[in-house]
Amino acid sequence: MTLLAVRDLRTQIRRGRDVVTPVDGISFDIAPGETVGLVGESGSGKTMTGMSIMRLLPGAGRIAAGSVRLADRDLASLGSRDMRQARGRDVAMVFQDPMTSLNPTITIGRQITEAVRLHRNVTSAGARERALEVLRLVGMPQPEQRLDSYPHELSGGQRQRVMIALALACEPKLLIADEPTTALDVTIQAQILELLQELRDRLGMGVLLITHDLGVIAGQADRVLVMYAGRIVESAPTEELFARPRHPYTEALLGAIPRLDQQRHEELRSIPGLPPDLAHPPAGCRFAPRCSFATDRCRTEDPVLTDDPDHAYACFHPRPVQRSAARTAPVTAEAADEIADGDTLLELTDVHKEFPIGGGFLRRRTTSLKAVSGISLTVAAGETFALVGESGCGKSTTGRLIVGLDEPTQGTVSFAGQSTGSRRPGGRMRPRDMQLVFQDPSASLDPRMKVSASLAEPLVLQHIGDRRERAARVGEMLDQVGLSRTSLDRYPHEFSGGQRQRIGLARALMLRPRLVVADEPVSALDVSVQSQVLNLMRSLQRAMGLTYVVISHDLSVVKYLADRIGVMYLGKLVELGAADGIYRQPAHPYTAGLLDAIPEPDPVRERAKERKPIAGELPSAIDPPSGCHFRTRCPFAQDRCAVEEPLLRPISGNQFAACHFPLRTPEPVA
Amino acid sequence: MTANMDTTSNTSGEPTIDPAAGPLPDASTAAVTGGFRASATARLARGGLISGAVLGVLVLFLLVIAVLPQLIAPGDPTASVAGAFTAPSGEHWFGTDDLGRDVLTRVVWGAHPILLASVLGIAIATVIGVLLGLLGGMTRGLASGLVMRILDVMLALPALLIALMVVAIAGNGVTSIVIAVGVAYIPAFARVVYGSVQRLRTADYVAAARLFGASRSRTVVRHLVPNLATEIAVVASSALGWAVLTAATLSFLGFGVNLPNPDWGVDLASGGQYLQTAWWISTFPGLAVTATILLSNYLGDYVSAILDPRRTVRVRRPWQLG
Amino acid sequence: MARFVLGRLLIAIPVLLGVTIVAFLIIHLIPGNPAQVMLFGSNPTPAQIHALEVRLGLDDPLYVQYGKYIAGLLHGDLGTSFVTGRSVGSEIVARAPSTFILSGAALLVAIVIGIPLGIAGGARPGSVWDRVGRVISVSGVAIPYFWLALIFTLIFAVHLRLLPAVGTQGFKSLIMPAVALGWGYAAILTRLVRSRLIEEFQDEYIKTAKAKGCSDSRVLFNHALRNAIIPTITMLGLQIGNILTGAAAIEVIFGRPGLGSFLVSSIAAKNIPVVQGAVLFIGVAYVVINLVVDVIVGVIDPRTRKKVTV
């Protein structure tokens, strides 16, 4: 039985003089109770597919051809009045960003009751009753009070629950979830995904899950559609697709994701180039310009999706059916597996950072936000140390403290044995030794400076070389980060996100620093580009003997880069040690929960997981819980945890955890 | 009204769906929106080449009138050349006023005080406002606090009231109108600069410059000033229209030039007494002021379009009228 | 909510104090001796000037004078008019209602014209009503309101003889002044509402509203407009000061004895205590009105209530 049947759907958007076709003749089905994953990178047309089904295209867009049959009606040709009634009642949608998707000036209750009253003939009391019911359904804590709350009073996870409640208020047959967890932290993501799955089973809905995250797909979807440049290039049941990808794009995509089960020092696959401009798509296969298997036929003739309902693909040269995919990546030659035990380069001793807040002129007692509260760690020369944690754990602040953009409220940061505080004679920090790579490369480059000027700026400021020498060094650096020299005369906005991050890296390396702090260096990038940058970071480290401090929320990225990691929770280090050990056997319940929550791009493992996601949400850093900060969400918490603050103590060898009841029995120190 | 708005619309294939939820335009978007440092021609083209040329000619014309009125109207604006209240005719295109003076000549000669007051006034407001904004935004402690309090109070007074106060203090005359317009628009500039400095101070690229060892003054010169300059140019060009109106209001109320010297505001006011008999005496100076404000507004839109293609649909800061 | 209101009040106090300082300083900023200024036009002898200085305490240090000024204000004493010798306070109070009525009527004109046109333009950019709105906003911003008043007079009083050219008798006499004064603000309002609506329509929550099945008009009135109106109200509050002051020229043209025309004639006559009193009065009225506007916005927009901490 089919719930939704999309046939030859083509959507067009006018863009100035051009007509863009973000969705170009796609067909697929969804059965009741089935989750179909639609995966693709930015610009692949996956969001526009969802918006086409909902008929919520932007003003300049229209459905040019094809049909969208939901149950027995064609949504594509429905009158606007009927379509309006179908929205919310037959098909509903959950959007990516819960922070902006709710009306900020209307209470949660009224936003839900509006949806109910639009489609059901109920009294306002009845609608309120229904709103309460769906809020309970989505597991909202204290639903009665929440009805009268405004969106800004809720956390991101709670808001996404409200969005889901809103979508389900009238029990639609089809739910379109567009990146429903992308804006959320990994523990909250796990909660929301579990909720979606449970609701699907309970209500028997069909779900179209749109995402860029193959890990989410692996755990949630029954079938997967891979989209590239407006086309579906491969379609198969989830396990089949992950085990035997046939399209080179799918294969490359799978190879590009850093995995938790990956051997370290294995290079990631990366896909060269960028997706095509959909106003002028290439003739022939749209992936051909980036495909390493492309032949002349691919460049002239357009492959069609094969007819096989179990595994369809659009390629003239499908990859052979072996479980080859991600594992064929070359292993780099020098796989020095032991942890670099160079001299200590960076040392943080009991570092605190508080930001005063409030403090009106009548309030004597100002409160403060404890962003970092007592962190001590060392980083050895030549190693990669990673700070991981969810948003609000203080990892970025720690990064800024390390490079000296902020001053610690208490404690010291020392570099190569010398304190870096501004009270040091000389005033400013030593720019040559430490640099920061920013998360958002478009914000960290002055939009009005050409690349050549941006890259030369550090040299100019440090009075290094004359004009010609600087130009030479800038050129060399561009070669090293893999950008052509024609980039010099261009402005930052003329580059793609990945290219901009290369420029950011190049600039940070201009002064040949010894330590580079990279704050979420790839989180703004698509998977295929992310792997390019990660590989580059590794090769630069080898070439220049760099020490990295990588700050990331993404444990898979960290696994790929780091020798040692520190896990942060609410301003404190809860676990510290060698990456391999921590990933194999985490000692702190938070680390374990975090690892458990990561969706892995492996359907077999994902389904085998006995999930027990970390419950609840991050407490406020203004008034953190007493004792162990994590105790409010910890499944093993006992009375002692509320009274006594656990200190970081050795668990085994070089693994440390701050927990009274660690998951590993501490070995006696030799 | 808007010079060329479709250059700013962002209609790439898909809305933001970046993994990190950051609205990071991909390459195709960047190509569409075009850079704000594209070539000079491209920048001018963004504002519309033809409208730019027309605008340029008109502005030039107005400047000539303001500086060298005798080129256009060789007569003496204070001389009686015909009978009083002569209707517009082939000889006196705009007619004559109550004292038989040629209205056209007076309109041409009358441009000088108001244009001087508004252009010079905006220049004063820009300089002082920018300095105050920088002082408030860049420093901490007493200086910044003091500046902010002064601005708070100035913003609590309507621009025209500030201008009237200045006139009450400085007396009548073109000079005092210049000062009045200048003082009245200081807070507008200071506020914009203060806001931008606050935003730019925390910008990542300013932090990056600090990491390379840039001093505060260097950061200001290299990063803040170029980014501020655009914004200030946009505000200044759009404030010009309001300044013309303020200057015209002050001279209409009789605080400008002394009679019998020509001035749009003064002539408008005196012509108002003869509406019944001679509509043309007030109508032509009125048209002149209106045309000047219109031209200033178009100029403001054009400058913003050239300098900042990424601006949103809000064309002009609708702040003060009066 | 009470906390919020209290917070706003406390923020307003230093600003109000600042306004009193400004008003107080006017007389001292005028070039020359304040006493000489006060005796403007009467060719005083040095002895006369000195006598006045002593009488008014102008030889005291500035802060003592300011203290006396504030003490006077607290007793409702705004000084004495040089021209009539009457209390400035009572002169202002006598004229204020006329100006408030004119300004209120102008505000009403602005709202009645500007908001519907702004909504029409913002909801359907490029439509006929959007074009009408553009004509109004271009004309309203470009045509000086005092010239507009003269044009109205020419058409409706001189030629059509529908409305009185001057005077304050009855509702009819209010129409031309109010429309002339309000027209420009209607223009500003049209633009603002239009552009805010267009911006709101780009927001994500609009997609959510459409996805639940709201009709276009429901999306417009229940969602987009609700949020667009918040900055509009704030802006209107900020413009009220300009309307109050702009009333001066309109009052002069239509011969309405109000605060504005009083201020203008007092400036011309160097009647400084009246100028001080009027500046103080308009400044305080402006601050108070904006206080009220802030509270109204606080009621409509739940987010602003949280921001103020005292």
Q: Are C15 and B156 an interchain contact pair (Cβ–Cβ within 8 Å)?
A: yes
Nearest CA in chain B to A517: B211
Nearest CA in chain A to C205: A101
Q: Give the gap in angstroms from C-alpha A351 to the nearest C-alpha of chain B.
A: 20
A388 DSSP β-pair partners: A552, A567
Q: How far apart are CA B263 and CA A353, in angstroms?
A: 63
User: Does the pLDDT value for residue B24 go beyond 50?
Assistant: no
Q: Does A406 touch chain B (CB under 8 A)?
A: no
Q: Give the gap in angstroms from C-alpha B102 to the nearest C-alpha of chain C.
A: 20
Q: Residues A162, A140: contact at Cβ < 8 Å?
A: yes
Beta strands A564-569; A384-388: pairing state: parallel
Nearest CA in chain B to C122: B313
Q: State pLDDT tens for residues A129-182.
A: 999 999 999 989 889 999 999 998 898 889 999 999 999 999 999 999 999 998
pLDDT score for B5: 31
Q: How far apart are CA A345 and CA A105, in angstroms?
A: 51
Q: Does A84 touch chain C (CB under 8 A)?
A: yes
A110 DSSP β-pair partners: none
CA-based nearest residue to A403, from B210, C132, B217: B210
Q: State pLDDT tens for residues A225-256.
A: 999 999 999 999 999 999 999 999 999 999 88
Q: How far apart are CA C263 and CA C248, in angstroms?
A: 8
Q: What is the DSSP string of A513-553?
A: -SEEEEESTTTTS-HHHHHHHHHHHHHHHHHHT-EEEEEES
Q: Are A20 and B31 an interchain contact pair (Cβ–Cβ within 8 Å)?
A: no
- Over residues A562-578, the mean pLDDT reads 93
Nearest CA in chain B to C279: B161
Q: Give the gap in angstroms from C-alpha B140 to the nearest C-alpha of chain A.
A: 16
Counting other chains too, the contacts that A67-73 makes at CB distance below 8 Å and 24 or more residues apart are A67/A5, A67/A6, A67/A7, A67/A8, A67/A9, A68/A4, A68/A5, A68/A6, A68/A7, A68/A9, A69/A2, A69/A4, A69/A5, A69/A6, A69/A7, A70/A3, A70/A4, A70/A173, A70/A174, A71/A3, A71/A173
pLDDT score for A430: 59
**Count of pairs with CB atoms under 8 A, one residue in A, one in C:** 88
Chain C hits for A363, Cβ within 8 Å:
309-310
pLDDT score for A669: 54
**Beta strands, E only, chain B:** none
A11 DSSP β-pair partners: A23, A63
pLDDT score for C184: 93
Q: Residues C258, C102: contact at Cβ < 8 Å?
A: yes
Helix, coil or strand: residue C77: coil
pLDDT score for B14: 28
Which stretch, A183-187, A225-229, A445-449, C13-17, has highest mean pLDDT? A225-229
Q: Give the gap in angstroms from C-alpha B130 to the nearest C-alpha of chain A.
A: 20
User: Does the pLDDT value for residue A384 go beyond 80?
Assistant: yes
Q: Which residues lie closer than 8 Å to A45 by C-beta, 6 or more apart?
A: A11, A22, A23, A24, A227, A229, A230, A231, A278, B13, B14
Q: Does A554 touch chain B (CB under 8 A)?
A: no
- Sign of the C-alpha dihedral computed for residues A521, A526, A527 and A532 taken in this order: negative
User: Does the pLDDT value for residue C21 go beyond 80?
Assistant: yes
Q: Does C8 touch chain B (CB under 8 A)?
A: no
Percent pLDDT > 70 in chain B is 80
A625 DSSP assignment: P
User: Does the pLDDT value for residue C227 go beyond 50?
Assistant: yes
Beta strands A206-211; A174-178: pairing state: parallel
Q: State pLDDT tens for residues A440-496.
A: 877 888 888 889 999 999 998 888 889 999 999 999 999 888 888 888 888 888 888
Helix, coil or strand: residue A435: strand
Neighbours of chain B (3+ CB pairs under 8 A): A, C
- Over residues A602-624, the mean pLDDT reads 83
Q: Does C20 touch chain B (CB under 8 A)?
A: no
SS (H, E, C) B90-148: CCCCCCECCCCEEHHHHHHHCHHHHHHHHHHHHHHHHHHHHHHHHHHHHCCCHHHHHHH
CA-based nearest residue to A51, from A66, A61, A64: A61
pLDDT class of B42 with cuts at 50, 70, 90: low
Q: Does B320 touch chain C (CB under 8 A)?
A: yes
Q: Does C129 touch chain B (CB under 8 A)?
A: no
Q: How far apart are the first and last CA of chain B?
A: 21
Nearest CA in chain C to B264: C147
Q: Are C137 and B1 an interchain contact pair (Cβ–Cβ within 8 Å)?
A: yes
User: Does the pLDDT value for residue B319 go beyond 70?
Assistant: no
Q: What is the mean pLDDT of chain B?
A: 77
Q: State pLDDT tens for residues B136-180.
A: 888 777 888 888 888 889 888 999 999 999 999 988 899 999 999
Percent pLDDT > 70 in chain C is 96
Q: Residues C246, C200: contact at Cβ < 8 Å?
A: no
Q: How far apart are the first and last CA of chain A?
A: 65
Q: Are C150 and B294 an interchain contact pair (Cβ–Cβ within 8 Å)?
A: no
Q: Are A105 and C301 an interchain contact pair (Cβ–Cβ within 8 Å)?
A: yes
H or E stretch covering A402: helix A395-403
Q: Residues A590, A607: contact at Cβ < 8 Å?
A: no
H or E stretch covering A176: strand A174-178
Nearest CA in chain C to A172: C212
Q: Are C144 and B286 an interchain contact pair (Cβ–Cβ within 8 Å)?
A: yes
Q: Give the gap in angstroms from C-alpha A233 to the nearest C-alpha of chain C.
A: 28
Chain B hits for A431, Cβ within 8 Å:
211-213
Residue to mutate among B161, B251, B296, B312, with most C CBs inside 10 A, is B161
User: Does the pLDDT value for residue B1 go beyond 60?
Assistant: no
Q: Are B213 and A462 an interchain contact pair (Cβ–Cβ within 8 Å)?
A: yes
Q: Are C204 and A166 an interchain contact pair (Cβ–Cβ within 8 Å)?
A: no
pLDDT score for B29: 30
Q: Is A482 left (phi over 0), alpha (psi -120 to 50) or beta?
A: left
SS (H, E, C) A285-312: CCCHHHCCCCCHHHHHCCCCCCCCCCCE
Q: Are A101 and C204 an interchain contact pair (Cβ–Cβ within 8 Å)?
A: yes
Nearest CB among A178, A404, A438 relative to B204 is that of A438
Q: Give the gap in angstroms from C-alpha B13 to the nearest C-alpha of chain A.
A: 6
Q: Are C213 and A115 an interchain contact pair (Cβ–Cβ within 8 Å)?
A: yes
Least confident of A122-131, C29-38, C87-96: C29-38
Q: How far apart are CA C265 and CA A588, in angstroms?
A: 80
User: Does the pLDDT value for residue B69 go beyond 50?
Assistant: yes
Q: How far apart are CA A175 and CA A38, in angstroms?
A: 13
pLDDT score for C275: 92
Q: Are B21 and A183 an interchain contact pair (Cβ–Cβ within 8 Å)?
A: yes
Least confident of A563-567, A577-581, B228-232: B228-232
User: Which CA distances in Å does A238 have to A6, A222, A249, A288, A370?
Assistant: 19, 6, 16, 25, 44
Q: How far apart are CA C266 and CA C37, in angstroms?
A: 13
Q: Does B289 touch chain C (CB under 8 A)?
A: yes
Neighbours of chain A (3+ CB pairs under 8 A): B, C
Largest CA distance in chain A: 78
Please tell me whether the interface predicted TM-score (ipTM) of this complex is above 0.95.
no
User: Does the pLDDT value for residue C39 go beyond 60?
Assistant: yes
pLDDT score for A484: 86
Nearest CB among B150, B169, B253 relative to C249 is that of B253
Q: Does C283 touch chain B (CB under 8 A)?
A: yes
Q: Does A366 touch chain C (CB under 8 A)?
A: no
Q: Does A432 touch chain C (CB under 8 A)?
A: no
- Over residues C249-273, the mean pLDDT reads 91
Q: What is the dihedral of CA A247, A250, A256, A257, to 10 degrees?
A: -150
Chain C hits for A152, Cβ within 8 Å:
302-303, 306
Q: Does B274 touch chain C (CB under 8 A)?
A: no
Q: State pLDDT tens for residues B90-114.
A: 787 888 888 888 888 888 898 889 9
| Cα-trace Rg, chain A | 26
Chain B hits for A403, Cβ within 8 Å:
211
CA-based nearest residue to A267, from A584, A542, A567: A542
Q: Does C250 touch chain B (CB under 8 A)?
A: no
Q: Does B10 touch chain C (CB under 8 A)?
A: no
pLDDT class of A668 with cuts at 50, 70, 90: low
Q: Using CB atoms within 10 Å of the CB of residue A479, give its burial: 0 to 12 exposed, 13 to 18 middle, 19+ buried.
A: exposed
Angle at C134 between CA C116 and CA C160, to 5 degrees: 80
Q: Does C94 touch chain B (CB under 8 A)?
A: no
Chain A hits for C301, Cβ within 8 Å:
104-105
- What is the layout of strands, in order, in the sheet containing A410-415? A367-380, A344-357, A410-415, A418-419
Q: How far apart are CA A235 and CA A223, in angstroms?
A: 7
pLDDT class of B182 with cuts at 50, 70, 90: very high
pLDDT score for A334: 39
User: Does the pLDDT value for residue B310 go beyond 60?
Assistant: no
Percent pLDDT > 70 in chain A is 93
H or E stretch covering B300: helix B280-307
Q: Give the gap in angstroms from C-alpha B203 to the nearest C-alpha of chain A.
A: 7
Nearest CB among B22, B36, B211 relative to A436 is that of B211
**Count of pairs with CB atoms under 8 A, one residue in A, one in B:** 148
pLDDT score for B315: 33
User: Does the pLDDT value for residue A337 go beyond 50?
Assistant: no
Q: Which residues lie closer than 8 Å to A121 by C-beta, 6 or more apart?
A: none
pTM: 0.84
pLDDT class of A37 with cuts at 50, 70, 90: very high
Q: What is the mean pLDDT of chain A?
A: 87
User: Does the pLDDT value for residue A94 go beyond 70?
Assistant: yes
pLDDT score for A338: 46
Q: Give the gap in angstroms from C-alpha B153 to the nearest C-alpha of chain A.
A: 18
Nearest CA in chain C to A162: C208
- Over residues A557-578, the mean pLDDT reads 92
pLDDT class of B275 with cuts at 50, 70, 90: confident
**Beta strands, E only, C4-140:** none
